[in-house]
Amino acid sequence: MDQLQLANRFDAERTRLRSVAYRIVGSLSEAEDAVQEAWLRLQRADAEEIENLEAWLATVVARICLNSLRDRRRRGETPLDAFVPEPIISSEAGGDPKHEALLADQVGIALQVVLDALGPAERVAFVLHDMFAVPFNDIGALLERSPQATRQLASRARRRVRDAAPSPEPDLARQRAVVDAYLAAARDGDLEALVAVLDPDVVARSHGRSGVLELRGVEKVARAAMMGTKSASFVRPALINGAAGAVAFHGDTPFAILAFTVVGDRAVMIDVFNDRELVPRLVQASA
Residue 229 maps to which CATH number? 3.10.450.50
Regarding whether 252 and 150 lie in a shared domain, the answer is no
Closest CA to 168 of 208, 109, 104, 248: 109
Regarding whether 58 and 17 lie in a shared domain, the answer is yes
Peptide bond before 85: cis, by omega within 30 degrees of 0? yes
Regarding whether 224 and 151 lie in a shared domain, the answer is no
* Last residue of one domain, picked from the residues 118, 142, 164: 164
Regarding whether 205 and 152 lie in a shared domain, the answer is no
Q: What percent of the chain clears pLDDT 90, i.e. is strictly above it?
A: 64
Instruction: Name the residue range of residue 148's domain.
Output: 3-75+107-164
Give the tens place of pLDDT for each residue, 27-73: 888 999 999 999 999 999 888 888 889 989 999 999 999 999 998 87
Residue 99 domain-assigned (yes or no): no
* Last residue of one domain, picked from the residues 115, 147, 164: 164
Angle between helix axes 53-75 and 136-143 (nearest 10 degrees) is: 40
**pTM score, two decimals?**
0.85
* Last residue of one domain, picked from the residues 164, 199, 230: 164
Query: If you average pLDDT over residues 154-178, what whole number do you get?
Result: 91
Report the number of distinct structural domains present in the chain. Answer: 2
Q: Considering the chain, what is the average pLDDT of its residues?
A: 89
Angle between helix axes 53-75 and 28-44 (nearest 10 degrees) is: 130
Regarding whether 220 and 192 lie in a shared domain, the answer is yes
pLDDT at 104: 46
Regarding whether 177 and 149 lie in a shared domain, the answer is no
Regarding whether 120 and 31 lie in a shared domain, the answer is yes
pLDDT at 72: 83
pLDDT at 260: 96
Give the tens place of pLDDT for each residue, 74-105: 776 666 566 888 999 987 765 555 555 555 45
Regarding whether 180 and 158 lie in a shared domain, the answer is no
Regarding whether 121 and 202 lie in a shared domain, the answer is no
Closest CA to 64 of 106, 33, 92: 33
Regarding whether 128 and 14 lie in a shared domain, the answer is yes
pLDDT at 65: 96
Q: What is the dihedral of CA 159, 161, 166, 169, to 10 degrees?
A: -120
pLDDT at 285: 80
